[in-house]
Every structure is written in structure tokens, then in C-alpha cells.
Amino acid sequence: MTIATGEKMPTGAFGTMTDAGPGAISTDELFSGKKVVLVSVPGAFTPTCSMNHLPGYVEQASAFKDKDVDTIACMAVNDVFVMDAWGKDRGVGDNVMMLADGNGEYAAALGLELDASAFGMGKRGQRFAIVVDDGIATHVAVEAPGQFEVSKAEAILAAL
């Protein structure tokens, strides 16, 4: 079942790159006591994700801070090394936390998995953005297949 507005975010963990190498962050660490915008893309380095989706959040990071967002986090069903390299390539700096959902477990827990096998990409996460306030989903924006409207930075800023 897909996560809905007003529901508690599922428990889980993501891979992250630290100064000491690959690490992890739990959903409790990520969401507890914070307002977080969790953005999901089908894959790092893919065209819409790299040219539009992630850059929009990087460019609008200060506007999100102005709306009391503590963290912008971008997840994809990629490994921690790919997410780290993609973040460096896109110049995210400290503006966006890059999260690896390597096996797609969190996308599945949200009910937002995507079968991209027809494109040679296997199981992925759908394109979406969720505003999370202290562990509760307060706004859920899931894109229709092939679309990029409701989860882009400008749309989420308007919803805050």
C-alpha cells in the first residue's frame, strides 16, 4: 500500500557516504524532530533526474530553508558510491543529502517501487517527493509515469 498524507513514514535505513567511507542513516535519525523533503528519482545520472529534478532542489535550497525545511534528501535505488559520485557531479554540496536505497527496500516499504526492467534498469523507486514533519508524511507527491510536475522543487515549495 502506498504511503499517504498523515501516515507515519516506515522504518528503514539508507546508505550514505561519510568522510570515513560508506555509512548509514536510519529513518529515525533522518526524520525525528525535523522537517524533511524526501525526493526520489528512478536513477542517478539519468536525464530528467540529472538535468531537472535534483538541480531544482539544489538551486532552491535556501528557499526551502526559509520555509523551515531542515533537510532536503534525495534517494534512488543506487549504491552509496553512485549516489556520492552523482552528488559531486551535480554539485549538491551540503544542500541535498544523497541517500542510497541500494536494494530498493525503502521504495518498496513506501509502496512506491517501479519495475523499470523494460528499460534494463530492474526494480527502482518511482519519481516522488514527500514532505515529512517529525516522521509523519504531510504532503505526498507521486508523479504519473513519464511525468515531471508534482515532485519538482517549485511544486513542493508551493505546497509548504
**Does residue 40 contact residue 126 with C-beta atoms inside 8 Å?**
yes
Strand order in the sheet with 71-76: 21-26, 13-18, 97-100, 71-76, 35-40, 128-133, 136-142
**Does residue 57 contact residue 39 with C-beta atoms inside 8 Å?**
yes
Q: Quick check: helix, strand or coil at residue 97? A: strand
Cα→Cα distances 23→26, 91, 98, 102, 109, Å? 10, 20, 12, 12, 21
The catalytic position among 44, 49, 97, 98 is: 49
The closest alpha carbon to 98, from 147, 142, 58, belongs to 58
Active site residue 49: yes
Q: Quick check: helix, strand or coil at residue 130? A: strand
Distance CA 128, CA 112 (A): 8
> Which residues are catalytic, by number?
49
